[in-house]
């Protein structure tokens, strides 16, 4: 069976921004699915991250609002202080419930929700980071036959998060940052 | 320990529970967003050690006293003082000067949870010299959280964060003057709640009960489906004075509702003014 990717999730913490800045410029502008980015970050009113990432890609970058309809060729940032959940394949909800792994947004929460809604058509990539948020989420992606991708720990600024993922989850691909954009582009076919 | 909630309650079982709660107790959650509800239901199964849907359902049906806890756990009551300081700064600078022109100011805080926002607003009103002619109606669906709100007792461990938020919101006083510390808790001054009225109110089923100059409802509508969101916007519209203000959470908007044309956003923070 060939998996058709309908959503691509990227989770990361400490050290993952530099990876995104390397990957984003190389993404094709006809990506056939929405890309969701869940980063641990400080709450900031002016959405500096949004503006920064927009400079690195031709794809549209926007911060998620509640009940937003997802489009392909668009990169969505989960806003600080909210978890992101999927209502169905096209609609997302925000949630300000308890932090998980000391984090809101929590990567685990969004990965789990995507796994339940998208099943085998979900793909998730976990980047550099200093805690294990995202590892259980990858497990859910895997259990639902989705695609699990992890940053090569040797290339990570903080290797704890990818190392935990590789040791606990049956990973489909372990990639260096310079391989990631090409990998995502090829999923579109 | 479970970090993530296991999948104990299936989608169709969730619907059965909602029907039970509605027909037995009159609480209608059928227009709440399913993604969050499902997380909350699985969470309560973990916390209260139910290993199956049947167990949870049995408890809910045969132990009416469990209902209050059930509702408190499936709704989200996470809150803090001066959350999003820039929002409070906007209230101070853009909204309060306008409220000051009214002889009497009524504020509705819908979905006040354990009251942290109500005390924040009271502090703001005091500092703007508006407190004496204001009333804060703080409502929530859960009687249990209102009980906590009435007490005004919060963990001392939060005060460093709240004090930082307060300063960022434009607060110039010493935040600690508003409370008295006692071991690991603090109690906020009783004069802060002199002008607070706490009451249960269900946004789904209860109607308008007064006319307000400011309605604040932040991070409540995110748990509702679009249709219910619209219904609540109508309730707020019916409860808002002409030229009154409506304040929502950072990621909520009135923009895509039927009432869009009746409101004008006054600042980048989510505050709208009723214009017709």
Say whether B26 sits in a helix, a strand or coil. Answer: coil
Residue A128 falls in the annotated catalytic set: no
All residue ranges of chain A with pLDDT < 70 are 1-2, 43-46, 189
pLDDT at B258: 86
Q: How many CB pairs under 8 A join A and B?
A: 71
- pLDDT, tens digit, 9 for 90 and up, residues B96-108: 999 999 999 999 9
Q: Which CA distances in Å does A54 have to A14, A65, A124?
A: 20, 17, 21
Under an 8 A CB cutoff, do B39 and A97 touch? yes
What are the b/e assignments for B11-30, b being 16+ CB within 10 Å?
eebbeebbeebeeeeebbbe
Q: Are B275 and B262 in contact (CB under 8 A)?
A: yes
Q: Which of B36, B253, B265 to mutate to test the interface with A (most CBs of A within 10 A)?
A: B36
Share of chain A above pLDDT 90, in %: 92
pLDDT at A42: 75
Q: What is the ipTM of this complex?
A: 0.92
- pLDDT, tens digit, 9 for 90 and up, residues B214-226: 999 999 999 999 9
pLDDT at B1: 37
Distance CA B72, CA B55 (A): 19
Tell whether A62 lies on the interface with B, counting CB pairs under 8 A. no
Residue A40 falls in the annotated catalytic set: yes
* Domains annotated on chain A, with CATH: 7-187 (3.40.50.180)
C-alpha angle with apex B257: B226 to A89, nearest 5 degrees?
Answer: 35
Distance CA A130, CA B8 (A): 30
Distance CA A54, CA B182 (A): 49
Q: Which of A16, A108, A133, A159 is catalytic?
A: A133
Instruction: Kindly list the residues from chain A whose CB atom is less than 8 angstroms away from the CB atom of residue B229.
Output: 67
Name the CATH architecture for the domain at B85-274: 3-Layer(aba) Sandwich (3.40)
Tell whether A82 lies on the interface with B, counting CB pairs under 8 A. yes
Instruction: Kindly list the residues from chain A whose CB atom is less than 8 angstroms away from the CB atom of residue B223.
Output: 93, 95
Residue of chain A whose alpha carbon sits nearest to that of B34: A87
pLDDT at A43: 67
Instruction: Kindly list the residues from chain A whose CB atom is less than 8 angstroms away from the CB atom of residue B249.
Output: 66, 96
- pLDDT, tens digit, 9 for 90 and up, residues A68-96: 999 999 999 999 999 999 999 999 999 99
- pLDDT, tens digit, 9 for 90 and up, residues B76-95: 999 999 999 999 999 999 99
Residue A90 falls in the annotated catalytic set: no
- pLDDT, tens digit, 9 for 90 and up, residues B256-275: 888 989 999 998 899 999 99
Under an 8 A CB cutoff, do B4 and A100 touch? yes
Tell whether A29 lies on the interface with B, counting CB pairs under 8 A. no
Mean pLDDT of chain B: 95
C-alpha angle with apex B172: B170 to B176, nearest 5 degrees?
Answer: 115
| Residue B57, CA atoms < 13 Å, CB-side half-sphere | 14
Say whether B201 sits in a helix, a strand or coil. Answer: coil
Q: Is B163 exposed, middle or buried (0-12, 13-18, 19+ CB in 10 A)?
A: middle
pLDDT at B2: 43
Distance CA B5, CA A187 (A): 30
- pLDDT, tens digit, 9 for 90 and up, residues B175-231: 999 999 999 999 999 999 999 999 999 999 999 999 999 999 999 999 999 999 999
pLDDT at A44: 64
Task: Report CA Rg, chain B.
Answer: 20
Under an 8 A CB cutoff, do A94 and B34 touch? no
Work out the widest C-alpha separation in chain B, in whole angstroms. Answer: 57
Give, as one character, the DSSP assignment of residue B5. P
Phi, psi values for residue A158, rounded to 5°: -125, 115
Q: Which CA distances in Å does A175 have to A19, A153, A154?
A: 11, 9, 10
Q: Which of B169, B170, B222 to mutate to test the interface with A (most CBs of A within 10 A)?
A: B222
Instruction: Kindly list the residues from chain A whose CB atom is less than 8 angstroms away from the CB atom of residue B219.
Output: 96
Distance CA A137, CA A112 (A): 5
- pLDDT, tens digit, 9 for 90 and up, residues B124-145: 999 999 999 999 999 999 999 9
Under an 8 A CB cutoff, do B3 and A109 touch? no
Instruction: Kindly list the residues from chain A whose CB atom is less than 8 angstroms away from the CB atom of residue B251.
Output: 63-66, 79, 82, 94
Q: For residue A186, count other CB atoms closer than 10 A to its CB.
A: 10
Axis crossing angle, helix B116-127 with helix B159-168, rounded to the nearest 10: 40
Intervals of CATH 3.40.50.150 along chain B: 85-274
Give, as one character, the DSSP assignment of residue B270. B
Cis peptide before A98 (omega within 30 of 0): no
Give the DSSP H/E element, type plus range, for residue A93: strand A92-95
Q: Which of A96, A105, A112 to mutate to test the interface with B (most CBs of B within 10 A)?
A: A96
Q: What is the mean pLDDT of residues B113-118?
A: 98
Sign of CA dihedral B57, B58, B62, B65: negative
Q: Is B207 exposed, middle or buried (0-12, 13-18, 19+ CB in 10 A)?
A: exposed
Distance CA B40, CA B17 (A): 13
Q: Which among B3, B36, B84 is the nearest to A85, CB-wise? A: B36
């Amino acid at each position: 069976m060939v998996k058709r990717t309908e959503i691509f999730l990227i989770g990361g913490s400490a050290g993952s921004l530099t990876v995104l800045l390397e990957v984003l410029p190389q993404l094709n502008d006809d990506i056939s699915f929405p890309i969701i980015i869940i980063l641990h970050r400080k709450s900031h009113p002016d959405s500096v991250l949004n503006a920064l990432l927009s400079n690195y890609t031709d794809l549209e970058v926007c911060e998620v609002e509640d009940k937003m309809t997802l489009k392909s060729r668009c990169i969505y940032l989960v806003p600080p202080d909210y978890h992101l959940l999927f209502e169905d394949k096209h609609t997302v909800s925000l949630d300000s419930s308890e932090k998980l792994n000391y984090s809101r947004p929590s990567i685990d929460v969004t990965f789990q929700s995507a796994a339940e809604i998208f099943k085998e058509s979900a793909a998730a990539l976990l980047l550099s980071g200093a805690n294990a948020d995202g590892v259980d989420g990858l497990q859910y992606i895997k259990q639902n036959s989705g695609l699990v991708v992890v940053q090569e720990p040797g290339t990570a600024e903080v290797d704890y998060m990818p190392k935990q993922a590789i040791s606990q989850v049956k990973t489909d691909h372990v990639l260096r940052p310079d391989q990631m954009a090409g990998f995502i582009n090829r999923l579109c076919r | 320990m479970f970090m993530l909630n296991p999948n104990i309650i299936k989608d169709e079982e969730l619907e059965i529970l909602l029907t039970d709660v509605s027909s037995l107790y009159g609480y209608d959650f059928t227009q709440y967003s399913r993604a969050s509800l499902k997380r909350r239901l699985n969470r309560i199964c973990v916390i209260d050690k139910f290993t199956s849907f049947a167990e949870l359902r049995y408890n809910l049906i045969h132990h009416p006293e469990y209902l209050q806890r059930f509702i408190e756990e499936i709704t989200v009551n996470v809150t803090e003082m001066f959350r999003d300081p820039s929002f409070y700064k906007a209230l101070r600078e853009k909204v309060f000067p306008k409220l000051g022109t009214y002889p009497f100011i009524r504020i509705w805080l819908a979905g006040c949870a354990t009251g942290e926002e109500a005390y924040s607003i009271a502090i703001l009103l005091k500092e703007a010299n508006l407190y004496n002619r204001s009333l804060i109606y703080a409502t929530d669906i859960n009687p249990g959280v209102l009980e906590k709100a009435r007490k005004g007792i919060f963990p001392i461990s939060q005060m460093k964060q709240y004090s930082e938020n307060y300063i960022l919101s434009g607060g110039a006083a010493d935040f600690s003057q508003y409370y008295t510390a006692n071991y690991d808790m603090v109690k906020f001054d009783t004069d802060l709640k002199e002008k607070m009225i706490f009451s249960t109110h269900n946004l789904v089923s209860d109607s308008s009960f007064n006319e307000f100059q400011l309605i604040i409802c932040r991070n409540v509508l995110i748990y509702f489906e679009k249709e219910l969101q619209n219904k609540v916007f109508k309730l707020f519209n019916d409860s808002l004075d002409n030229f009154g203000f409506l304040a929502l959470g950072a990621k909520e908007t009135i923009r895509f509702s039927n009432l869009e044309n009746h409101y004008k956003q006054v600042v980048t923070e989510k505050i709208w003014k009723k214009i017709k």
